[in-house]
């Protein structure tokens, strides 16, 4: 399935060198997002930085854009997103900003144009909240994290 996803450059004169999000291979689920930093920015271990992308997006009604870390940056350098996955709602029209975090052991420098995250478009199912006096029973019940064991 393909549909149009509309983008708008926030700073058209300044960011023409920054590619808009794009699929890097025919089988890719996510579009790579590039950093539109004005100058190189170094994240020390534990640091968080809001990284601009230079674009806004019009996600169609009934969908969300999920912003996720790039697996290579995460595995090699510990670079992730603080709120992973992040959500861009269909009614948001501001610049997409990436809250990158360095969970690695060494400083990491983000260069202008680096591919630093990916965007996956997903359908959204809206539910109607309902307060009920009790919930149906299940085998798991109220068992929390790790309750089902390591099988």
pLDDT tens digits for range 98-113: 999 999 999 999 999 9
Hey, where are the domains in the chain?
A: 21-123
pLDDT tens digits for range 51-95: 999 999 999 999 999 999 999 999 999 999 999 899 999 999 999
Structure tokens at 120: 């996956």
Main-chain phi, psi angles of 75, to 5 degrees: -70, -40
Class for domain 21-123, per CATH?
Answer: mainly beta
| Contact criterion met (CB below 8 Å) for 59 and 31 | no
Q: What is the pTM of this model?
A: 0.88
């Amino acid at each position: 399935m393909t549909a149009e996803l509309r983008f708008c450059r926030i700073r058209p004169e300044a960011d023409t060198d920054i590619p808009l999000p794009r699929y890097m291979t025919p089988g890719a689920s996510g579009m790579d997002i590039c950093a539109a930093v004005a100058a190189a920015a170094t994240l020390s271990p534990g640091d968080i930085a809001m990284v601009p992308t230079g674009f806004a997006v019009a996600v169609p009604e009934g969908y969300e854009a999920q912003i996720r870390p790039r697996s290579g940056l995460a595995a090699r350098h510990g670079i992730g997103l603080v709120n992973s996955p992040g959500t861009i709602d269909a009614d948001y029209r501001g610049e997409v900003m990436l809250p990158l975090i360095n969970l690695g052991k060494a400083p990491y420098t983000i260069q202008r144009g680096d591919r630093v995250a990916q965007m996956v478009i997903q359908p959204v199912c809206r539910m109607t909240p309902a307060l009920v006096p009790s919930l149906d029973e299940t085998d798991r019940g109220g068992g929390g994290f790790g309750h089902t064991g390591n099988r």
